[in-house]
A and B are shown apart, each in its own frame.
Chain A
Amino acid sequence: MLAVVIAFTLLGSLVFAAPSSNATIGFVLVTFILVLGRHLNKVALQLPEPRRSILYTLYYSMPHLELFDVRDLIIHDWPPIAWKVCGLATLYGLAYATAFLIIACVVFRRRAVN
């Protein structure tokens, strides 16, 4: 999860004008995903078209950081997560981190360096 957030912040540092705006937008987006990410599909199903499709597209395209929030499993003493699930979650996170880093690299290469 941290890799995704760091990669996104790196991309943000190239796209946004100031560190303050990057930090604020990053904070808002991460909070939004952690709080609502899991429920966006249910909200989307209640909406009429085309808002349903727009929200579902957002749901599928955003990194689901809430998948990595396993506090409830730890707090309530649930059995350990299966290795297969851990592996898949890691791959999922790595895919998003890589995508953000590649986009950041492309944006950086196109920047004029004074």
Chain B
Amino acid sequence: MRSSKVSELSAVALLVLCFGIAAYLEVWFQGWQGSRTQSGDVLSVMLGDGRRLFANHFFVKADAYFHSGYYPTIFDNREAFKTPHMAEDSGTVAGKNQGDETGFLGRPLDWIDAFGRNLFPATHTHLDQGGASHDLGDSSGVREILPWLQLSAELNPNDIRTYTVTAYWLRERMGKPDEAERFLRDGLRANPGSYEILFELGRLFAENHHDPARARNLWEVALRNWQKQETGKADPDKFSFLQITSQLAKLEESQTNYARALAYMEMWKARSPSPDAIQKQMEELRQNVAADKPQLIGSPKSQE
């Protein structure tokens, strides 16, 4: 009798203690900076920073859709799929693929394997080239990759390639430059000073809006940010540097700012894997201009 009374009192005491701790923690939790309950994003509330782990999965899923399901598993040779093809084709990331991208399955190993290839996607296709239907006139199927890329960007807003790749497909293959610009600006808000996003924005203004002045401004900021962020690194992002300087050189040449064009070509040549080809371009430009307007060529000086 006595022991049951002690148990009941202990349970009541524990309940009171729990209530007190909950009341105390609730006040602290409302003021805590790390609370996810303030976020309007359901995924952010549910997964927290863990959602970044899934972002790459959805980026790769977009590439699987880009191939209409023809995609290597962990059991297949993935040498030709190290860089997602939709990213490589967009020209926004450096490709690291080697080997035969059309034949990661190899020759059938047995009759079950050979027969099974009639029952799953076993041919290499890209959605922008007609996809599974091989209809070259219809590349609208590429829109299928967009929801996956959008989801990937929501899960990891700091994965810059998601913004640049999505923007390329939106503006270049779907004719939606305004949506591409909005998406890139979202990316820039999440990643202030990103030279990759600034470069892609510049491409949008140069190629879609035909506004070389704004493209130049954006690429010049991209170049300055690259120099701030990458100079001094053991393994700087050479791919982006070459893209920025080469586009700036072409833009200045098209705008007849030959001295600036030559200066950017000099920077481009300094890090290019084929400097001889760029030297040849520089000499051709000097010759052409010297023949027409020699006064337009100043002494090129490197801005790097």
Residues of A within 8 A of B (CB): 38-39, 41-43, 45, 59-60, 64, 66-70, 72-73, 75-79, 81-82, 85, 88-89
Residues on the B chain within 8 Å of A69, using CB = 119-120
Kindly state the separation between the CA atoms of A64 and B113 in the bound complex, as whole angstroms.
Answer: 10
CB atoms of B120 and A73 under 8 A apart: yes
Residues on the B chain within 8 Å of A85, using CB = 115, 118-119
Residues on the B chain within 8 Å of A81, using CB = 118-119
Residues on the B chain within 8 Å of A64, using CB = 112, 116
Binds A, one of B65-73, B201-209, B212-220: B65-73
CB atoms of A45 and B109 under 8 A apart: yes
Q: Count of chain B residues with Cβ under 8 Å from any Cβ of A?
A: 20
Q: With contacts A75-B69, A77-B131 known, is A60 near B121, CB below 8 A?
A: no
B8 at the interface (CB under 8 A from A): no
Secondary structure dominating the interface of A: helix
Kindly state the separation between the CA atoms of A66 and B73 in the bound complex, as whole angstroms.
Answer: 15
B105-125: contact bitstring with A at CB < 8 Å (1 yes, 0 no)? 000011011011011110000
Kindly state the separation between the CA atoms of A92 and B125 in the bound complex, as whole angstroms.
Answer: 29
Kindly state the separation between the CA atoms of A88 and B225 in the bound complex, as whole angstroms.
Answer: 61
- Distance (whole angstroms) from the CB of B6 to the closest CB of chain A: 43
- The residue that A76 contacts in the complex, of B65, B73, B75, B110, with Cβ under 8 A, is B65
CB atoms of B75 and A39 under 8 A apart: yes
CB atoms of B133 and A77 under 8 A apart: yes
Q: With contacts A39-B73, A42-B109 known, is A70 near B131, CB below 8 A?
A: no
- Distance (whole angstroms) from the CB of A40 to the closest CB of chain B: 9
Q: With contacts A67-B115, A81-B119 known, is A42 near B69, CB below 8 A?
A: no
Closest to A59 in B: B112
Closest to B120 in A: A72
Seed contacts A41-B113, A59-B112; 8 additional CB < 8 Å A-B pairs: A60-B110, A67-B112, A70-B119, A72-B120, A77-B68, A78-B121, A79-B133, A85-B118
- Distance (whole angstroms) from the CB of B132 to the closest CB of chain A: 4
